[in-house]
Amino acid sequence: MLELKDIYKTYNVGLINETKVLEGFNLSVPKGQFVTVIGSNGSGKTTILNLICGTIFPNSGKIFLDGSDVTSMTEFRRARHIGRVFQDTQKGTSPNMTILENLSLADNKGRFHGLGLGVNRKRIDAYREMLAPLGLGLENKLDVLVGSLSGGQRQALAMVMCTMTDIELLILDEHTAALDPKTSELIIELTNKIVREKGITTMMVTHNLRHAVSYGDRLLMFHRGGIEMDLSGEARRNVDVDDLLDRFNQISIESGN
């Protein structure tokens, strides 16, 4: 369960470029729910994800993760409970380490398994089993440096790495946006499979409206730091891409754009 209560966030307080983004934002995401989040550029999606992860802190309000108040907990400490994959395919993995070393590091929540003696060989078979279903042949490239992989391969590896330990929350910020259409489909399908198999509470921001309506249990549309649309159940199942486009146009007209 994730809860954001009465969150206020202003960037550059007191400066000429002061930007009020959130003014009394509330959101409650039950355990295991898969939420897709859409909204125009600058509507506050990444700000919310950054607040949840502790990359930035609210001016006021509280954030709870599984009942614990994490509002002032550092990003580093929260990272044990939260997996995150970014749009930038360079961010989730370490380029100068091999696939095996990357997996080993992720497996032990940031500490190597017996580094110096080499990676724990017992885990290698388990890693191969995790990679084989991706269909990318990574299971046969364990000793290859991650920096030499394609963006799609790195994103698939990042997904596996951030979900291989028990996490309470998965945060995805346009994680398929930098990928070609075929690879984007592969990563969204992989995401869906992992989220469903493990039942991880997930927030996925996307500008791909088809992904937003085809995946997840609940759909949120952000607008100017607020939730403009919150669909689940029957309403969520019935919504299609055209409905969302209509709503975007309506908002745009109302905002005078």
What is the x/- site pattern for ligand ATP, positions 26-55, by CB under 6 A? -------------x-xxxxxxx--------
Residue nearer to ligand ATP on the CB measure, 57 or 112: 57
> Which H/E stretch holds residue 82?
strand 82-85
216 binds, among Mg ion, ligand ATP, none (CB under 5 to 8 A by kind): none
The answer to whether 187 contacts ligand ATP (rule: CB under 6 A) is: no
Q: Residue 155 binds what, of ligand ATP, Mg ion, none (CB under 5 to 8 Å, by partner type)?
A: none
CA end-to-end span of the chain: 37
Between residues 136 and 179, which has the closer beta carbon with respect to ligand ATP? 179
Return the residue matching tokens 């970014």. 86
Half-sphere exposure of 166 (CA within 13 A, CB side): 0
Binding partner of residue 44 among Mg ion, ligand ATP, none, CB cut-off 5 to 8 Å per kind: ligand ATP
78 in contact with ligand ATP (CB under 6 A):
no
Q: Which of 216, 225, 217 is nearest to 191 (CA)?
A: 216
**Start-end of H helices in 85-240:** 99-107, 122-131, 151-163, 181-198, 209-214, 233-238
* Shortest distance (Å) from residue 73 CB to ligand ATP: 20
3-state secondary structure of 145: strand
> Residue 96 binds which one of Mg ion, ligand ATP, none, with CB within 5 to 8 A depending on kind?
none
Residue number of the CB closest to Mg ion reads 46
Least distance to ligand ATP, CB of residue 39, Å: 5
Partner whose footprint covers residue 118, from ligand ATP, Mg ion, none (CB < 5 to 8 Å by kind): none
In the list Mg ion, ligand ATP, none, the entry touching 42 (Cβ below 5 to 8 angstroms by class) is ligand ATP
**Please, what is the minimum distance in Å from the beta carbon of residue 83 to Mg ion?**
18
Residue 20 bridge partners (DSSP)? 10
Integer Cα distance of 192 and 180 in angstroms = 18
Least Å distance between CB 49 and ligand ATP?
A: 8
Q: 54 vs 78, 80, 84, 207, CA distance in Å?
A: 7, 12, 12, 23
Give the integer Cα–Cα distance in Å for 34 and 182.
23
Positions that interact with Mg ion (CB under 5 A): 45-46
**Nearest-approach distance from CB 211 to ligand ATP, in angstroms:** 14
Q: 239: which residues sit within 8 A by CB, 6+ positions away?
A: 213, 219, 231
Give the binding site for ligand ATP (CB under 6 A).
Answer: 11-12, 19, 21, 39, 41-47
